[in-house]
Amino acid sequence: MVDAANLLEEARQGNRRSLAKLLTYLEEGGKSPLEYGRGKSLGITGPPGVGKSSLIGKLIDEWLNLGETVAVLAVDPSSPISGGALLGDRMRMVNADSSDSVFVRSLATRNHPGGLMNCLTPMIEVLSECGWENIVIETVGSGQSETRVVAFADIVVLVDGPDRGDIIQAEKSGIIEMADLIVINKSDLKNAQKAADSIRSALSFNEESPKVFLSSAHTGEGIKEIINELKILQSPLIRNRMRVRERLISAWDSVLLESESLEILISEIEDGKISISEAIEMIRNHNKTSKS
Ligand SMILES: Nc1nc2c(ncn2[C@@H]2O[C@H](COP(=O)(O)OP(=O)(O)O)[C@@H](O)[C@H]2O)c(=O)[nH]1
Ligand SMILES: [Mg+2]
């Protein structure tokens, strides 16, 4: 038996093992020991290889310089940050006690057929409750499940690369509409400025359109500016509403995908025993009876 309330108490005192255990418990569907409270999180998304993890590494350095703590939830299985390699190097470079100021945890979407939404919010709440000042979610911005993950963040940063192909990927995924800030990374490479200009002009029809920044995780260019912008940035209502909508749809889908009778119903539809609308009716009724 996991005593979530006790783990939370220990995690609040700074016990990292208890925090890790509590997050695992939440990831596995355990009930959150917190009844309310909503920690703010920053979603960092974008196509693979554009430098999200490297950029997060630089942001971490800057936050540490400012004396702030950072917790990262990496929902990217290939992420070097979740593998610890990137962070390993980083920890060697920064001052000794900074390890107390950074917490990294990786999450795998494959363990969650309905997506991560059921555990993501409680995890963010717990991290916030335990005093983590900056809570970052890294996710690859391609594919539906990732769009959904990022909808759970309060501020969304889209990272893109200098190649036209990177930008097209982001446009296709629909994530561009959710972005509060767009960062064209690898500004040390040619074409970055051009990519930023082209994205700016593509978005200029919209008055709520996000600002476009240039950065380099290699030279450090633009990192301070991004940190400053993040401190004042407020997501406009229209994008907030879009995210809430996406969260609701995700929650709805996960009810369906995690329904015990899903496979049985699929077989019955396949065999022509019931129609799709009958199946939906049955799931609805099942949920009603199991709640009462
Ligand atoms: N030239 C250049 N390369 C970068 C920059 N940021 C990241 N990279 C490189 O791009 C590759 C992918 O970086 P990574 O952070 O893993 O990207 P992610 O998949 O978006 O998390 C790595 O080889 C990095 O060294 C940058 O600002 N400039
Ligand atoms: Mg990565």
The residue whose C-alpha atom lies closest to atom 28 belonging to ligand 1 is: 186
Q: Check pLDDT > 60 for residue 45.
A: yes
The predicted structure's pLDDT at residue 86: 46
Q: Check pLDDT > 80 for residue 83.
A: no
| Residues 45, 139: Cα–Cα separation, whole Å | 5
pTM of this prediction? 0.85
Q: Specify whether the CB–CB gap between 178 and 147 falls below 8 A.
A: yes
Of residues 176 and 241, the one with the higher pLDDT is 241
Q: Check pLDDT > 50 for residue 68.
A: yes
Of residues 255 and 272, the one with the higher pLDDT is 272
The predicted structure's pLDDT at residue 212: 93
Of residues 117 and 61, the one with the higher pLDDT is 61
In this prediction, residues 149-173 reach a mean pLDDT of 79
The residue whose C-alpha atom lies closest to atom 10 belonging to ligand 1 is: 51
- Ion ligand 2: protein residues whose beta carbon lies under 5 Å: 52-53, 76, 79
Secondary structure letter of residue 207 according to DSSP: T
Residue 136 has phi, psi (to 5 degrees) of -110, 135
The predicted structure's pLDDT at residue 84: 44
Give the ligand 1 atom nearest the CA of 215. Answer: 27
pLDDT > 70: percent of the chain = 80
Q: Specify whether the CB–CB gap between 138 and 52 falls below 8 A.
A: yes
Give the ligand 1 atom nearest the CA of 185. Answer: 27
Residue 187 banded pLDDT, cuts 50, 70, 90: very high
Q: Which among 160, 185, 161, 162 has a CA at the least distance from the CA of 175?
A: 160
Of residues 73 and 290, the one with the higher pLDDT is 73
The predicted structure's pLDDT at residue 82: 44
Q: Check pLDDT > 60 for residue 92.
A: no
pLDDT in tens, 120-132: 889 999 999 999 9
- With a Cβ cut-off of 6 Å, ligand 1 is lined by 46, 48-54, 79-80, 185-186, 188-189, 216-218
Give the ligand 1 atom nearest the CA of 189. Answer: 1
Listed ranges 102-106, 237-241, 268-272, 282-286; the one with the highest mean pLDDT: 268-272
User: Per-residue DSSP letters for 138-174?
Assistant: EEESSSHHHHHHHTTSSEEEEEE-SSHHHHHHHHHHT
Query: Is beta strand 211-214 parallel, antiparallel or unpaired with respect to 181-184?
Result: parallel
Which ligand is nearest the CA of 215, by number?
A: 1
The residue whose C-alpha atom lies closest to atom 12 belonging to ligand 1 is: 49
The predicted structure's pLDDT at residue 168: 66
| Residues 176, 187: Cα–Cα separation, whole Å | 19
User: Measured in angstroms, how far is the CA atom of residue 265 from the centroid of ligand 1?
Assistant: 45
User: Measured in angstroms, how far is the CA atom of residue 97 from the centroid of ligand 1?
Assistant: 27
The predicted structure's pLDDT at residue 1: 73
Q: Check pLDDT > 60 for residue 94.
A: no
Query: Is beta strand 155-160 parallel, antiparallel or unpaired with respect to 102-106?
Result: unpaired
The predicted structure's pLDDT at residue 226: 98
Q: Domain 35-236 - what CATH class? A: alpha beta
Taking all residues of the chain, what is their mean pLDDT, rounded to a whole number?
83
Q: Which helix (H) or strand (E) holds 202?
A: helix 192-203
The residue whose C-alpha atom lies closest to atom 6 belonging to ligand 1 is: 51
The residue whose C-alpha atom lies closest to atom 7 belonging to ligand 1 is: 51
Substitution site in 44, 52, 53, 54 for ligand 1 pocket (most atoms within 8 Å of beta carbon) = 54
Helix then strand count (H, E) for the chain reads: 13, 7
Using a 10 angstrom Cβ sphere, with 0-12 exposed, 13-18 middle and 19 or more buried, the burial of residue 189 is middle
Of residues 168 and 175, the one with the higher pLDDT is 175
With vertex at residue 21, the alpha carbon angle to CA 85 and CA 57, rounded to the nearest 5 degrees, is 25
User: Measured in angstroms, how far is the CA atom of residue 188 from the centroid of ligand 1?
Assistant: 11
Q: Check pLDDT > 90 for residue 115.
A: no
Instruction: Return all residues near 115 (Cβ < 8 A) that are at least 6 apart.
Output: 109, 145, 148, 149, 250, 253, 254, 257
Give the ligand 1 atom nearest the CA of 47. Answer: 20
Q: Specify whether the CB–CB gap between 71 and 103 falls below 8 A.
A: yes
Residue 208 banded pLDDT, cuts 50, 70, 90: confident
Domain positions in the chain are 1-33, 35-236, 259-291
